[in-house]
Amino acid sequence: MGLLAGILLGAGAALFPGVADAATPTITESFSPASIALNGTSTLTFAIDNPGGSLHSVGFDDTLPPGVQVAGTPTTTCLSPPALATSGGPSDLAFIDVALADSSCTVSATVRGVQAGAWDNPVTVNVDGTGTPVTASIGVVAPPSISAAFGTALLGLDGTTPLTFTITNPNAAFPLSGVTFTDTFPAGLVVAGQPTDGCGGSVAGDPGSNSIGLSGGRISPASSCTVSAVVAATATGAVADATTQVFSTEGGIGNTASAGLTVIGAPTIVLSSPASGHVYAFGTRVPASYGCADDPDGPGISSCKGEIPNGAPIDTSKAGEYAFTVTALSRDGGVSSDTVFYAVAPDNRFSVARIKPLAGGVLRFEVRVPGAGRVSVLETTRTGAGFVVARASVSAPRATTIHLSVKPDRRGRATLIARRRLPTTLVVTYTPKGGTGRTERFRVTLS
């Protein structure tokens, strides 16, 4: 016997010689539903109608197409007791029964769609030895498939990349509708831009949210469509993203899609010189010292640049406050920068010239200063317990040469008269405006 074979045997006129043949029985075939998802089930029914008053010999032998198989025990509503049996597998079924006069009955079997495609099931029905073809068709619809891909395998922290979902209809003969999937992102990933829908449905996923999804999508036979969104990385580490199973009304549940990337931290910078908050003396040599490193998972540094090359001296030739910035760029486009603020003190370098002792212990000299500030002078003895011989102080409004004459005080004059020669130390301090003082000492003998 074939996959679904049925034989209706009737004695007819041979059994009942006095009875004339009535109308010829008819058999119709149908699948319900006529379209099923792959691995879904349908009911195959042969409806037998015998409107006449006598029995007829009716038989049929059905071999189902490759896309469907018998999935359950066939049943019949025809004359009992029926002879209904399977003989080993989904391709063997035997049916023997007798249709009652002026009656209808059915032979049914549950079938399962095992291979996608549009399948015809032609059957030749023999009625009283005459073959009559009947047929029914069923569509076995495969589910959609989905794949996902990030635009890059490495992404810098706070960077963005496209995330694209490709949904494919593998059926050559059937469109798919009601296509749906959802993707809830793992921690560290958010939607950065409004998703785009190429599947003719409704896409959800507001910027800042952690999920996107499609509902009501439609895909033509043997074609694909895409849903995409720009996503942003908010935490470092490996990201493994996976969707729910994709679904369609006709094809049912399909596969899930997954994609992964690694989110790497921004490059790091070590900036040790100039030091943040430090005040450098005017004109001193201060070499810049800095370096850059990429995240351990990153591709490396492509650029590490400061205001001046590493090792070169910063400019301390002008007093004021300054900023020094180093910028690092990794090969994957990650950028970071570090800025320190430092100051250069006003120039406190000065010179003392033309020191000339005069009669009566007067000391004349000149002081050249680089800018506004104050000059303080002390003249002290170098012998014994020591004491101040003279003192003076003067302001400089700008860079200039100041001419000074310093006279000994009362004690200094008395000591000079007593000793006639008085060794002293001239202490000159220049304090620039807004800066720190600098002191120079000179040995001078008064007479």
Three-state DSSP string of 368-434: EECCCEEEEEEEEECCCCCCEEEEEEEEECCCEEEEEEECCCHHHHHHHHHHCCEEEEEEEEEEECC
pLDDT for 364: 96
Residue 353, both tokens: 């010239």
Which of 3-7, 16-20, 299-303 is predicted least confidently?
A: 16-20
pLDDT at 18 over 60: no
pLDDT at 1 over 50: no
Residue 243's nearest CA partner among 146, 163, 362 is 146
* Reported confidence tier of residue 265, pLDDT bands at 50, 70, 90: confident
Query: What percentage of the chain carries pLDDT values higher than 90?
Result: 66
Residue 4, both tokens: 């679904």
Residue 247's nearest CA partner among 201, 279, 208 is 201
pLDDT for 95: 57
pLDDT at 443 over 90: yes
End-to-end Cα distance, the chain:
146
Tell me what the mean pLDDT of segment 128-152 comes to: 93
* Reported confidence tier of residue 25, pLDDT bands at 50, 70, 90: confident
* d(C-alpha 408, C-alpha 389), whole Å: 5
Tell me what the mean pLDDT of segment 424-439 comes to: 93
pLDDT for 3: 45
pLDDT at 23 over 90: no
Tell me what the mean pLDDT of segment 113-121 comes to: 94
Q: 74 or 193: whose pLDDT is higher?
A: 193
Show the domains of the chain with their CATH numbers: 4-141 (2.60.40.740), 145-264 (2.60.40.680), 268-344 (2.60.40.10), 351-446 (2.60.40.2550)
Residue 324's nearest CA partner among 334, 311, 314 is 314
pLDDT for 154: 86
Chain centroid, CA 79 distance in Å = 68
HSE toward the beta carbon, residue 316, CA cutoff 13 A: 22
Own/partner contacts of 350-353, CB < 8 Å, gap of 24 or more, are 350/375, 350/428, 350/430, 350/438, 350/440, 352/426, 352/428, 352/440, 352/442
Mean residue pLDDT of the chain comes to: 87
Tell me what the mean pLDDT of segment 351-362 comes to: 94
pLDDT at 111 over 80: yes
Tell me what the mean pLDDT of segment 96-108 comes to: 69
Residue 63, both tokens: 């071999």
Reported as a single tens digit per residue, the pLDDT across 209-246 is: 999 999 999 999 999 999 999 999 999 899 999 999 99
pLDDT for 382: 77
Tell me what the mean pLDDT of segment 194-202 comes to: 94
* d(C-alpha 368, C-alpha 354), whole Å: 11
pLDDT at 9 over 50: no
Say which residues have a Cβ less than 8 Å from residue 335's Cβ, sequence separation at least 6.
156, 266, 267, 327, 328, 329
* Reported confidence tier of residue 124, pLDDT bands at 50, 70, 90: confident
